[in-house]
Structure 1
Amino acid sequence: MKIDLTETTASKINKALVEGRRAVGTPAIGMVLTLVIVTDEENAYDALKAANEASREHPSRTLVVIKRVSRSPRDRAKARLDAEVRVGTEAGTGETVVLRLYGEAIDHAQSVVLPLLLPDAPVVVWWAVNAPLDPAKDPLGALAQRRVTDAYACERPVQELSARAETYTPGDTDLAWTRITPWRSMLAAALDQGPCTVTSAEVEGEEFNPSCELLAMWLADRLNVPVSRKVSGGPGLTAVRLQSSGGPIVLDRPEASLATLSMPGQPDRSVALKRRETAELLAEELRRLDPDDIYAAALKFGVDRLSDGDGDGPAGGGSGDPAGTAKGEPAASADGTPAKSASSGKKAPAKKAAGK
């Protein structure tokens, strides 16, 4: 069922939601959270489609905020709100309200969204495009427990990671990080299969893909070893190579669905490592509402501390030693705790646990 409201208010939208639920025979509210999607008209369809698919696992009230640009000064000075209320099969397993803001209402989106939030339910804000530099200080972001961005949708995605690190607030996350969850799980499982000492690593993937940098920073932060970044033709991440005391460990994905895991003393094995759709990424992020400390540590490690793969300097264009490890500096222990500094006279090799 779909209800169109022109030049409306939040109270009229709430009334339409109640009427819609009664009309489709579901008067009770069975939703677990409020998902606020901030997007533009061009990307609204894809974002809403992903949210509807994710709602099968997380029934939610979805509020889509679309800020429409007014062409004339007169229209820009006039506040206007149009809404489209969807319930039943039109809204997945929850309910959806598409909000189109005009004029001065654009600068007060939080005032429109606040009366529509589910009472006593967590709030997640997802910027499908055009995320603010500091999501936690954005008026809409301030309403949420979790704030989801996507660096891949930015014009300069790798540089965006540095900005995210500077403004990180517990509760922030990025879909570029979510995309590498299968890679992190596979690498951690590979390192748990036998005792070994990792000495260096290389991450290979297409250019301008922030997931490659995040995976490299995660390895460098958890293992405290030099990690280089190598550019390939893609798609996405294509390979990770770990040099260890027992021999090379390689996770190679030349195509977008199947990868090959090579380990010393073991036959090569094929593993499923497909590129996931946005709906799967969003559903994963909605499973947890607590801060992601591992993401925070990887993000704050810094892109400029990665090697460019040729030994000529950092991948991020900054200065510093590859992976932030100076010559003679000790690596991390198995639990990810930094070992004692070189000045203490004791050294510890990098161990196998690549984070949990």
Structure 2
Amino acid sequence: MITELTGTTAGRINKALGEARRAQGSPTVGMVLTLVIVTDEENAHDAVKAATDASREHPSRILTVIERPARGHQSRSEPRVDAEIRVGGDTGSGETILLRLYDAAVAHADSVVLPLLLPDAPVVIWWPIAAPEVPAEDPLGALAQRRITDTYAVEEPLRELTARAASYHPGDTDLAWTRLTPWRATLAAALEQARTAVTSAVVESEPGNPSAELLARWLTERLRVPVVLKPTAGPVVTAVQLSTGRGDIRIDRPDGPVATLTIPGRPTRTLALRVRGTAELIAEELRRLDPDEAYAAALRTTVVPPAPPSDSQEPKHV
């Protein structure tokens, strides 16, 4: 069921939402959180689709804030909010509200969103494209326990990653980090099997990939060894190699969903390591609402460049 409201208010949206729920027999008791998406018109469809798919695991109220600021002579004398309410159908057990904010209403998005949040439920905010300079201090970001950005979606990902490190607050996270979960889990399991010290590491990836940068920082922080970022044709992260006294531990995924894992003294294995879609990444982030300390540590770490061997350097395990 879809209800459209033009030039509306939060009170009218709440009233229409209640009527739509009653008509569909869809109570709010099954919803576990409010997911706020802040985007533009061009990216709204894909973001809502990903959030809706993720909400099948985490029934949510999805509030999509689509900003339509005034441009020059097109400025209106009064701000305006249009709403599209979706209950039932493809939204499953959740519900979706698209909020189009025009002109001065953009600057007061938090006043529009606040009355629409589920009472006594966590709030997560996601910027699929450009995020505020300091997400936690943004008026909408201040409403959320968890703030999701995506450095891969901007023109200069590594510069954006530097900005995310400078502005970090507990509760911040980034999908460039979420994309690394299978890699980090596989590397930790490989080291557990190998039971040997790592002396250096290489991360192979397309140039300028923020996930590769974060993976290199994570390895630096955990292993305290030199890490080299090696550019390849991609796509994204294609291989990781950990050098040890017994030989190289290597995960190689040149293309496609299958990778090979090589551990010294063991047979080479194939394993699933596909590039996951946005809906899976969002679903993973919605599983935890506490601060991600591993992300924070990696974000603060500087990659250690290669250096001549020294007897005083002691390699460490993950």
TM-score w.r.t. structure 2 length?
A: 0.96
How do 1:265-276 residues align onto structure 2 when only pairs under 5 Å count?
A: 265-276=265-276
**Cα distance in 2 between the residues matched to 1:66 and 1:330:** 56
Aligned to 1:290: 290
For structure 2, the 5+ residue unaligned runs are: none
Query: Once the two structures are superposed, what CA deviation does each residue of 1:204-253 show, in whole Å capped at 9, x if it has no partner?
Result: 00112100000010001000000000000011110001001111101000
Q: List structure 1 segments (4+ residues) > 4 angstroms apart after TM superposition.
A: 325-331
Aligned to 2:167: 167
Query: Once the two structures are superposed, what CA deviation does each residue of 1:151-207 show, in whole Å capped at 9, x if it has no partner?
Result: 001110011111111110000000000001000000000000132110000000011
Cα separation, partners in 2 of 1:158 and 1:28, compared to 1, 3 Å: closer
**Cα distance in 1 between the residues matched to 2:256 and 2:77:** 49
CA contact (8 A) 2:194 2:263 kept: no
Query: Once the two structures are superposed, what CA deviation does each residue of 1:34-58 show, in whole Å capped at 9, x if it has no partner?
Result: 0000010000000000000000000
2:229 corresponds to 1:229: yes
Aligned to 1:129: 129
CA shift, 1:330, in A, is 5.5
Cα separation, partners in 2 of 1:106 and 1:256, compared to 1, 3 Å: same
2:280 corresponds to 1:352: no
CA contact (8 A) 2:251 2:262 kept: yes
**Cα distance in 2 between the residues matched to 1:213 and 1:298:** 9
**Cα distance in 1 between the residues matched to 2:89 and 2:312:** 58
CA contact (8 A) 1:229 1:306 kept: no
Residue identity (%) = 61
Cα separation, partners in 2 of 1:329 and 1:211, compared to 1, 3 Å: farther
**Cα distance in 2 between the residues matched to 1:120 and 1:295:** 27
Aligned to 1:47: 47
How do 1:170-249 residues align onto structure 2 when only pairs under 5 Å count?
A: 170-249=170-249
CA shift, 1:72, in A, is 4.6
CA contact (8 A) 2:87 2:94 kept: yes
> Match for 1:45: what amino acid?
H
**Cα distance in 1 between the residues matched to 2:245 and 2:80:** 65
Structure 1 window deviating more from structure 2 (76-85 vs 116-125): it is: 76-85
2:257 corresponds to 1:257: yes
Cα separation, partners in 2 of 1:64 and 1:28, compared to 1, 3 Å: closer
> Match for 1:134: what amino acid?
V
Query: SS at the partner of 1:64?
Result: strand
**Cα distance in 2 between the residues matched to 1:245 and 1:165:** 34
**Cα distance in 2 between the residues matched to 1:37 and 1:293:** 24
CA contact (8 A) 1:33 1:61 kept: yes
**Cα distance in 1 between the residues matched to 2:252 and 2:143:** 41
CA shift, 1:30, in A, is 1.5
**Cα distance in 2 between the residues matched to 1:28 and 1:198:** 51
> Match for 1:116: what amino acid?
L
**Cα distance in 2 between the residues matched to 1:52 and 1:190:** 35
Aligned residues, how many?
A: 318
Query: SS at the partner of 1:17?
Result: helix
CA shift, 1:306, in A, is 4.7
Cα separation, partners in 2 of 1:28 and 1:159, compared to 1, 3 Å: closer
CA shift, 1:329, in A, is 8.7
**Cα distance in 2 between the residues matched to 1:162 and 1:226:** 20
**Cα distance in 1 between the residues matched to 2:92 and 2:157:** 31
> Match for 1:220: what amino acid?
T
Cα separation, partners in 2 of 1:33 and 1:299, compared to 1, 3 Å: same
Query: SS at the partner of 1:183?
Result: helix
> Match for 1:261: what amino acid?
L
Query: Once the two structures are superposed, what CA deviation does each residue of 1:37-91 show, in whole Å capped at 9, x if it has no partner?
Result: 0010000000000000000000000000001133454634421000000000142
Query: Once the two structures are superposed, what CA deviation does each residue of 1:305-334 show, in whole Å capped at 9, x if it has no partner?
Result: 354xxxxxxxxxxxxxx4xx8974965xxx
**Cα distance in 1 between the residues matched to 2:12 and 2:45:** 24
CA contact (8 A) 1:171 1:290 kept: yes
CA contact (8 A) 1:125 1:141 kept: yes
**Cα distance in 2 between the residues matched to 1:12 and 1:222:** 52
Aligned to 1:12: 12
**Cα distance in 1 between the residues matched to 2:311 and 2:140:** 44
> Match for 2:6: what amino acid?
T
Structure 1 window deviating more from structure 2 (85-94 vs 270-279): it is: 85-94
For structure 1, the 5+ residue unaligned runs are: 308-321, 332-348
> Match for 1:98: what amino acid?
L
Structure 1 window deviating more from structure 2 (175-184 vs 26-35): it is: 26-35
CA contact (8 A) 2:64 2:97 kept: yes
CA contact (8 A) 1:235 1:256 kept: no
**Cα distance in 2 between the residues matched to 1:8 and 1:265:** 67
**Cα distance in 1 between the residues matched to 2:295 and 2:57:** 23
Cα separation, partners in 2 of 1:16 and 1:90, compared to 1, 3 Å: farther
